Chain A
């Protein structure tokens, strides 16, 4: 990709794994959360890979992670924040504009 075409696209989202994470979470209703294991299963990513990408998205405020329970019964859930949904909307809009210009 040339730098000029990548410019309007959010570089944090413009990576296959993170894009797939955000799009999958966006398919849920607003405010819903998905368990880490289900997300991992849907995306077919390894736990380490998913954690790394989720950390980056969480640092940007695009996703939030909530842990409930203790020990082996603990459950980690991931959800898309309003900021994350807005960022994804902006990304897909920029992507459409970009493709329309090609």
Chain B
């Protein structure tokens, strides 16, 4: 049925066309999947981009500090790489979020904005504490070497985990809990461990999440 070409009187073709129950069921499933995907801000592609952010950004800092017997801080180039990839990740996430909520009015949009505020408040709070620690003369090794790569991430993942649990999105919840676990455990290994293990572990977790979500979507499509 060609419902998009309305040279005839609009809707006439649609009313007259036969729709088999099996065809109707397929149409319901197909349209539902298409709509869910259109309104879903998270995607396997975003997860792969996130994995790249961890692997390249955290990897660059780890590379620059890996051989330091006494912690001297990361090289300038590695910090530039880190913030560069974070900026790219933020732009990708923002674009996908805006695309998903484009044209949507009402509770969903307000909920998404509220959730973004909750997640960012958790992250900003953790960054402010990092500043306070530096102000209180806590050594750079702890502030920038251990706290910096892990605690703000744990705060962000914690807030995101709460939202995922509320929305009963179990793969997302598992991802957030894994990130919290990896970041927490990596602090025991000092600055190289905090940057290296967190970067590698989170990248792996995001790639696994991307595979799981892709697999789920394919499974629904093949039903």
* A contacts, CB < 8 Å to B: 1, 5, 9, 14-20, 23-24, 26-35, 37-39, 42, 44-46, 48-49, 51-53, 56, 77, 79, 92, 95-96, 98-99, 102
Interface string of B138-180 (1 = CB under 8 A from A): 0000000000000000000000000000000000000000000
A92 to chain B: which residues have CB within 8 Å? 28
Question: What size tier do the contact residues of chain B reach?
Answer: 35 or more
Report which residue of B14, B27, B38, B108 has the largest number of chain A beta carbons within 10 angstroms of its beta carbon: B14
B67 to chain A: which residues have CB within 8 Å? none
- Closest CB-CB distance, A2 to chain B, in whole Å? 10
Alpha-carbon gap, A64 to B22, bound state (A): 29
> Is B108's CB under 8 angstroms from A32's CB?
yes
- Closest CB-CB distance, B112 to chain A, in whole Å? 10
Interface string of B27-54 (1 = CB under 8 A from A): 1100110111011000000000000000
**Is B137 interfacial (CB 8 A cutoff)?**
no
13 contacts between A and B (CB under 8 A): A19-B24, A19-B31, A20-B27, A27-B35, A27-B39, A28-B39, A32-B104, A34-B103, A42-B35, A42-B38, A45-B4, A95-B21, A95-B28
Alpha-carbon gap, A51 to B103, bound state (A): 17
A52 to chain B: which residues have CB within 8 Å? 10-11
> Is B27's CB under 8 angstroms from A15's CB?
no
Q: Is the interface of A mostly helix, strand, loop or mixed?
A: helix
Supposing A28-B39, A32-B108, A33-B106 touch, asked if A15 and B25 sit within 8 A by C-beta, the answer is no
> Is A38's CB under 8 angstroms from B19's CB?
no
- Closest CB-CB distance, A95 to chain B, in whole Å? 6
A102 to chain B: which residues have CB within 8 Å? 21-22
**Is B105 interfacial (CB 8 A cutoff)?**
yes
> Is A16's CB under 8 angstroms from B17's CB?
yes
- Closest CB-CB distance, B19 to chain A, in whole Å? 6
Interface string of B87-130 (1 = CB under 8 A from A): 00000000000000011111111010000000000000000000
> Is B36's CB under 8 angstroms from A19's CB?
no
